[in-house]
Chains A and B, each alone.
Chain A
Amino acid sequence: MVRPSTMADRVRVKALMPPGHVRAPAYLRGKTGVIERRLGAFGNPEQLAYGHEAEQKQLVRVRFTMEELWGDVAEAPKDTVDAEIYEHWLEKA
């Protein structure tokens, strides 16, 4: 797997709300997690969805704790959610 040199192990999903087809779920935006594994490059779904030529974007699995996602009302704070997030949606945390 290609390891982008700029990618920190702790990452935050950008808190953006752009229109259109986006695969970064809203409940994870602004949330911080750790990279669980790197998956390689895939066509950017934000372009593919409209039939445009798609740039290759690095995709990583990010692991979030329930505590990070839901705070005090987390059902079990140490349980986790893993999700695939494209690199252009992530920033260093």
Chain B
Amino acid sequence: MPHDHHDHLSPSGHPYRQDNDGPLTYWQQMEIAVRELLIEKGVTTPSEIAAQIDAMDARSPANGAAVVARAWVDPEFKVRLLADASAASREMGFDIGPLNLIAVENTENTHNLIVCTLCSCYPRNLLGLPPDWYKTREYRSRAVREPRAVLREFGVDLPDSMQVRVHDSTADMRYIVLPARPAGTDGMTEVALADLVTRDSMIGTGLPRTSG
């Protein structure tokens, strides 16, 4: 039967995504009502809303990766980044709005991990939208309770000698990890280095790619 709910795979082998046929929730109705009122009253327009969504979607971890690569090749920039990551990002031309950004540096002794236990605070202007797992209750609760176990599940197995510092974005700051520059990348250009910088390495759940 084509509409059998036990059929989870399409003929092409892809899983079906359930249609969103359910009734709107209270807050979905509220969002639509407020949006329509703002448009009716001339406060905003549908094209402004679409442009804002486009701007949000255009942000990607490539922005953060460019900042990290610059810090790897330019020691003075790195000093400025660690002192004031908002100003250093603006200096590179990134529009980070009113974002208050703190960069935390991974070293041979210290590994940093970012979480927002209360909700989903994330440096969106530099990294784009957060991954779904970042917003789950599981990640949010376990990152502060057993970060090493969480990291192992992400494939990062840290020695006991390494100190883990978890940063909980509880209020007005947002965080980006400055991962350690991988060994064997001495001759690489800034652009090539940026390709090594993954999203997860800037959250702290991963490490940069190695050049090989």
Contacts and interface: CB of A to CB of B under 8 A. Distances in A.
Contacts of A69: 144
Interface residues of B, number: 21
Given A69-B144, A75-B148, A24 B163 contact: no
A92 interface: no
A55 interface: no
Contact of B145 (A23, A24, A75, A80): A75
A78 B163 contact: yes
A42 B168 CA distance: 17
A75 B149 contact: yes
Interface string A68-93: 01100001101111111110000000
Contact of A59 (B160, B168, B172): B172
B146 A83 contact: no
A23 B144 CA distance: 16
Given A70-B145, A76-B164, A39 B172 contact: yes
B94 to A, nearest CB: 21
B170 A79 contact: no
A79 B165 contact: yes
B60 interface: no
B168 A82 contact: yes
B70 interface: no
Interface string B165-189: 1111111110000000000000000
Q: Which of B117, B165, B172 has the most CB of A within 10 A?
A: B172
B206 interface: no
B167 A82 contact: yes
A86 B163 CA distance: 26
A14 to B, nearest CB: 14
A79 to B, nearest CB: 4
A79 B166 contact: yes
B171 A59 contact: yes
Interface in B2-38: none
Given A25-B117, A27-B144, A70-B145, A79 B164 contact: yes
B130 interface: no
Interface string B152-166: 000000001001111
A86 B145 CA distance: 22
11 contacts: A25-B168, A27-B117, A75-B145, A76-B148, A79-B147, A79-B148, A81-B167, A83-B167, A84-B169, A85-B170, A85-B171
Interface of A: 23-25, 27, 39, 42, 45, 59, 61, 69-70, 75-76, 78-86
Which 3 pairs from chain A and chain B are nearest by CB?
A84-B171, A79-B164, A83-B168
